[in-house]
């Protein structure tokens, strides 16, 4: 299914849909009334027509493409929330009233969506963040960007009880199926999804052995998935 088709998808209250559109952390999420895009890289900006908010996790080439962010913003007038390092690089392509610098521990409300910025353990980046995204229906997604596990993920899981967590399993420095599974074990979501890597079978084996109560979903690029 294409991005334009997911934007037009009709969902009931309490549902969401998503597509993973690149090999990294690029995700488009559709709730019944909102569209959220995270780290739009290697994607056609013309496909997006109804975006409410774009989230940028850090400044690396596989997470930030100023031209794509600018094109989506110009078309949709969406809000852009960005880590502090990427924020100045977006100043020329996003209107100042729609560009928000993400600060760890702070919450931004965007037309019924709640976006909370959290720490990211990704040392190669300058000021990376992860995001807790809560839809207008109360479904919470934890997008961990390129982060390795860190102790406060346990507190994040206990306090915010994410329904879904995206777990980095490769490509990023020191990331592996083992570190991805550790993220899921710390956060304890209802559903763990491996991404940003290819060794999904290894992730599934580790998680089924060490945290068998957590449901796992292996996703493919450009395929539509619904939750719950």
Q: What is the pLDDT of residues 31-65, one digit of tens each?
A: 999 999 999 999 999 999 999 999 999 999 999 99
Q: Give 3-227's CATH code, choosing from 2.120.10.30, 3.60.15.10, 3.30.565.10, 1.10.40.30.
A: 3.60.15.10
Angle at 106 between CA 38 and CA 41, to 5 degrees: 15
What CA–CA distance (Å, rounded) separates 194 from 97? 35
What are residue 131's DSSP bridge partners? Answer: 117, 143
What CA–CA distance (Å, rounded) separates 191 from 204? 12
Spatial strand order of the sheet with 191-195 comes to 107-110, 113-119, 129-134, 140-143, 164-168, 191-195, 215-216
What CA–CA distance (Å, rounded) separates 196 from 199? 10
Asked if residue 1 has pLDDT above 90, the reply is no
Q: What are the tokens at 216?
A: 């796992």
**Which residue carries 């879904």 as its tokens?**
164
Q: What is the pLDDT of residues 115-147, one digit of tens each?
A: 999 999 999 999 999 999 999 999 999 999 999
Please list, in sequence order, all residues whose beta carbon lies within 8 angstroms of the beta carbon of residue 78, skipping any fewer than 6 positions away.
37, 51, 52, 53, 54, 72, 98
Give SS3 for 110. strand
End-to-end CA distance of the chain: 18
Q: What does pTM read for this prediction? A: 0.97
Q: What is the pLDDT of residues 164-182, one digit of tens each?
A: 999 999 999 999 999 999 9
Neighbours of 138 (CB within 10 A): 10
What CA–CA distance (Å, rounded) separates 202 from 178? 8
**Which residue carries 């009334």 as its tokens?**
33
């Amino acid at each position: 299914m294409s991005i334009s088709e997911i934007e037009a998808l009709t969902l009931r209250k309490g549902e969401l849909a998503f597509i993973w559109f690149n090999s990294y952390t690029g995700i488009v999420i559709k709730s019944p009334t909102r569209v959220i895009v995270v780290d739009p890289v290697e994607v056609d900006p013309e496909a997006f027509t109804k975006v409410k908010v774009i989230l940028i996790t850090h400044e690396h080439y596989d997470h930030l493409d100023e031209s794509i962010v600018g094109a989506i913003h110009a078309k949709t007038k969406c809000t852009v929330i960005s880590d502090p390092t990427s924020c100045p690089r977006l100043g020329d392509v996003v209107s100042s009233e729609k560009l928000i610098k993400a600060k760890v521990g702070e919450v931004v409300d965007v037309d019924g969506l709640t976006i909370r910025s959290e720490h990211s353990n990704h040392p190669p980046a300058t000021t990376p963040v992860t995001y807790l995204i809560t839809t207008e229906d109360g479904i919470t997604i934890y997008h961990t960007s390129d982060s390795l596990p860190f102790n406060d993920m346990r507190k994040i899981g206990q306090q915010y009880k994410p329904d879904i967590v995206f777990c980095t399993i490769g490509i990023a420095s020191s990331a592996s199926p083992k570190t991805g599974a550790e993220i899921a074990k710390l956060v304890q979501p209802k559903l763990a999804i491996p991404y940003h890597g290819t060794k999904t079978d290894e992730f599934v084996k580790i998680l089924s052995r060490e945290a068998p109560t957590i449901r796992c979903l292996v996703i493919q690029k450009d395929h539509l998935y619904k939750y719950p």
